[in-house]
């Protein structure tokens, strides 16, 4: 007979001590896989698209309130979530404008899956990035994707392939 050690065989001490952040991210990923991050999600009836007019109205209102080009807001939404208010990225970004939980909290977004809150918060964030980078859309969009710290450290668009592709896609959608 074996003595109970409080461990599952084959696990290490570090496997038992999972950080709250890792646990939270695991829950988000599990929910995303159940709800789906696309039109063909597993949970039927999930809010995977807004009516075009409703989305345009949200964009127009938030863009005007924050002095941001509505085409830029629409381009970010298209590239980030393809217009899916239930989208969750592999790193935990949420909603139409794919706000990270910390950014959402910083901009007063209580429910990142609420289209109006998400677009309002994401547009305020874009406004602040455009101001920080003196109207340079490419740098602001790079910072939206990789974070301002990465843009500042690189003294420009970081050399991350994902960020460079992202910037090109957003800028192309502006044309």
Q: What CATH number is attached to the domain comprising 169?
A: 1.10.530.10
Whether 61 maps to a domain, the answer reads: yes
Range of the domain at 85: 52-174
Q: What percent of the chain has pLDDT over 90?
A: 70
Mean pLDDT of the chain: 84
Instruction: State yes or no: is 80 an active-site residue.
Output: yes
Residues 6+ apart with CB under 8 A from 50: 58, 83, 85, 115
How many folded domains does the chain comprise?
1
pTM of the model as a whole: 0.74
Tell me, rounded to whole angstroms, the distance of Cα 173 from its chain centroid.
Answer: 18
What pLDDT was estimated at residue 32? 53
User: Per the residue annotation, which of 13, 56, 80, 117 is the catalytic one?
Assistant: 80
Whether 154 maps to a domain, the answer reads: yes
Q: How far apart are the C-alpha atoms of 23 and 138, rounded to whole Å? A: 34
């Amino acid at each position: 007979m074996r003595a109970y050690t409080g461990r599952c065989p084959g696990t290490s001490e570090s496997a038992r001590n999972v950080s709250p952040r890792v646990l939270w991210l695991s829950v988000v990923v599990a929910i995303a896989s159940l709800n789906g991050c696309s039109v063909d999600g597993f949970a039927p009836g999930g809010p995977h698209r807004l009516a075009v007019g409703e989305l345009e109205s949200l964009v127009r209102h938030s863009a005007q309130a924050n002095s941001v080009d509505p085409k830029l807001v629409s381009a970010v939404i298209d590239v980030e979530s393809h217009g899916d208010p239930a989208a969750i990225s592999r790193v935990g970004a949420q909603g139409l404008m794919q706000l990270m939980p910390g950014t959402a909290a910083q901009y007063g977004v209580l429910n990142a899956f609420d289209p109006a809150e998400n677009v309002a918060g994401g547009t305020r964030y874009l406004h602040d990035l455009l101001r920080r980078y003196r109207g340079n859309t490419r740098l602001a969009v790079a910072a939206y994707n990789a974070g301002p710290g990465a843009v500042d450290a690189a003294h420009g668009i970081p050399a991350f392939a994902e960020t460079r592709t992202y910037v090109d896609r957003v800028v192309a959608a502006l044309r």
